[in-house]
Amino acid sequence: MREKYKKRILVTGGAGFLGSHLCDRLVERGDDVLCVDNFFTGSKANVAHLFERSNFELMRHDVTFPLYVEVDEIYNLACPASPIHYQHDPVQTTKTSVHGAINMLGLAKRCKAKILQASTSEVYGDPEVHPQKEEYWGRVNPIGIRSCYDEGKRCAETLFFDYYRQHQLKIKVVRIFNTYGPRMHPNDGRVVSNFIMQALRGEDITLYGDGTQTRSFCYVDDLIEAMIRMMDTSDDVTGPINIGNPGEFTMKELAEQVLELTGSRSQIIHLPMPADDPRQRRPDLDLANRVLNWAPSVPLRDGLKKTITYFEQLV
């Protein structure tokens, strides 16, 4: 018999970067965690340390196909998150977001489970307002090379809110801004992993454009805390809620910090800007502060140090 206090929690994309940290926290809290992943960008290695835990289970499954399990809560994270990976098979990326959302919402409906969607700041596209508030509808190119991801995630949000209105599902939508930390894929082309790997290998650090475009970076532990708080809010809280870190840095500043912390002698070189790359992105966290009583606490420098320590084992 199942112990009464344990929640059965499904984490899709649980073997990925964010998913594996979420599984860590939920297993530690004592919940029964079912991690589902097709290992497209995630790996067993990210959750191997949990195999010995009796409240953790790993299942190979692609969320574009229906899944029949019994659960109380679903965190829907399955989706490649970096441009290199999501542009590798753009049709599959849209299918993962859209069919994946339909399948997981269907499962939530059948089980009467609460369901949280890992949405993204990319739903704001290349924004005209700064910082981005949740009410902003975004400026997304529907036919560009990033659209498989951006529009897939937008459609997933639509599906979540339609299931909420039409079937009274308990939904939670978080819009995640750039997050970094240990277990990021080393070759995913995302700026933090890129710079660190280039610095550790002594290769040139590739800055796109003049490096004055800004990003905000949230350390993974802060983000997971916000996600769990969001899931635990009362049923009237649906989101969308921005989560991330408002500290804004230019790509040039990031490159310089990475060079300093790794002690690398790599040179910074400039390359042309890729298509549809937003110039500026920063979350407005008012809502998250008020509703989740949460604010990120890990400074970029501290988070970078931990991330560099992880990447050092890989080179």
Site of interaction with ligand NAD (CB under 6 A): 12-13, 15-19, 37-42, 62-64, 77-81, 96, 100, 118, 120, 176, 178-179, 185
Which CB, 58 or 264, lies closer to ligand NAD?
Answer: 58
> In whole angstroms, how close is the CB of 153 to ligand NAD at the nearest point?
6
**Residue 288 φ then ψ, to 5°:** -60, -40
Q: How many residues does the chain have?
A: 315
Three-class SS state of 190: coil
Which CB, 61 or 114, lies closer to ligand NAD?
Answer: 61
Write out the two tokens for 65: 């196909």
CB 251 within 8 A of CB 211: yes
Compute how many other C-beta atoms are within 10 angstroms of the C-beta atom of residue 267: 11
> In whole angstroms, how close is the CB of 312 to ligand NAD at the nearest point?
20
Q: Which of 149, 163, 180, 219 is catalytic?
A: 149
Active site residue 164: no
Which CB, 147 or 178, lies closer to ligand NAD?
Answer: 178
Residue with tokens 């599984």: 23
> In whole angstroms, how close is the CB of 223 to ligand NAD at the nearest point?
8
H or E segment at 101?
Answer: helix 90-111
> In whole angstroms, how close is the CB of 94 to ligand NAD at the nearest point?
11
User: Which residues lie below 8 Å from residue 286, measured CB to CB, with a gap of 6+?
Assistant: 133
90-111 helix and 147-167 helix, angle to the nearest 10 degrees:
20
Which CB, 62 or 126, lies closer to ligand NAD?
Answer: 62
**Residue 227 φ then ψ, to 5°:** -60, -45
List active site positions: 149
